[in-house]
Structure 1
Amino acid sequence: MNDQQGVRVEGPRVMLRELHPGDLEAIHAYARLPAVSRHTHWDTHPDLTVTTAILNSWLAETWASPRTVFNLAVDLNDSLVGVVRLAVISAAHRRGEFGYALHPDTWGQGLGTETARLLVGFGFGTLGLHRMEACCHPYNHGSRRVLEKTGLRYEGRIRDHMLVGGTWRDSLSYAILSTDQPAGNVPALV
């Protein structure tokens, strides 16, 4: 983490960095695609107005004190290819949750796994979390693989977890503890 630039977490191919207003078009480029929103809790962004409002809310969370939410750009070769969110849901219990969305052009290249590993390392190392949780749509097999390759363990199905587009949807719950063995290139867990 670099205090001059906010959060900056570098991996072999991608970097997690703070969002800025100039990211609007790149975020909209994937958020407008039904292939992306099909497995998320948010609707496809029909126009830049929706993306602008969401980006502005994310930027506002950056300045909260204490900061408990980290919305970060996934940067590949100086281009935003997705956004991740890590929220400290209980400081007292050192528990956080995270999620991610990447442009479909990057799917199947291992970037999701690298991104999730960077988030886990940031959460345990920099933020001092003990438990990190993530959920995914039951039919999102790619995301399930990412979570498992990152070392998260399947904990169960949460019935009617989210109301999406007027329909209740289940989620699959995954978690990793700071005491779990690291998976692959996850930084050593403290």
Structure 2
Amino acid sequence: MATKTLKSSVKVTTPSIKKKFKNSKPIESLYELIWNGFDAGATKVEVTIERNELEGIEEVLIFDDGNGIDFYSESCGFNKYDDSEKKNSIHTHGKDGVGRFSFHKISHKAEWDTKNSKRIYKTTIDSTVLEDFDTIELEENEMELLQNINSGTVVRLIGFDGQESLPSEDDIFRFLSIEFGWYLAIKKM
């Protein structure tokens, strides 16, 4: 009697990703994206919040001068879910392999413009389909914000209508001081 083998694999879904963040606060999305920069060796991380004329958030930019993401690397964690190369390191904050998805708590879309020692990429993830994303390789002149540095990443959060909101700028500053103050003092940044 012949047997037939069916090959299967597990598919990660948007609801399963969002479930990881069910109890997290909107400000924690910023924490995750900022920690990713420090985990990538950044000595400088900047957060810019751009508002429209009605004081609504238009976009949030998180810039870091870390190592950038190398999508061709075997160790690239961007394609993994709930797994991270950083999980065994005592020198990094991220270990779960889910932080990049946290943006969905505050915006509809996130774009990563990233430059490493070899290449420049743009990756976009939409909050309605977190498990699928597009990455394109770009030329140096197509990435204005990263032109004058050797490596780094800019995360751009856009589409804030209907999402949970961030606190005021004063509260954001206070929360970021509490979350990162100790780290910056230890690193003398």
| TM-score (norm. length: structure 2) | 0.30
Which protein has the bigger strand share?
A: 1
Structure scoring higher RCO (CA < 8 A, sep ≥ 6) equals 2
Q: Between Structure 1 and Structure 2, whose CA radius of gyration is higher? A: 2
TM-score, normalised to structure 1, is 0.30
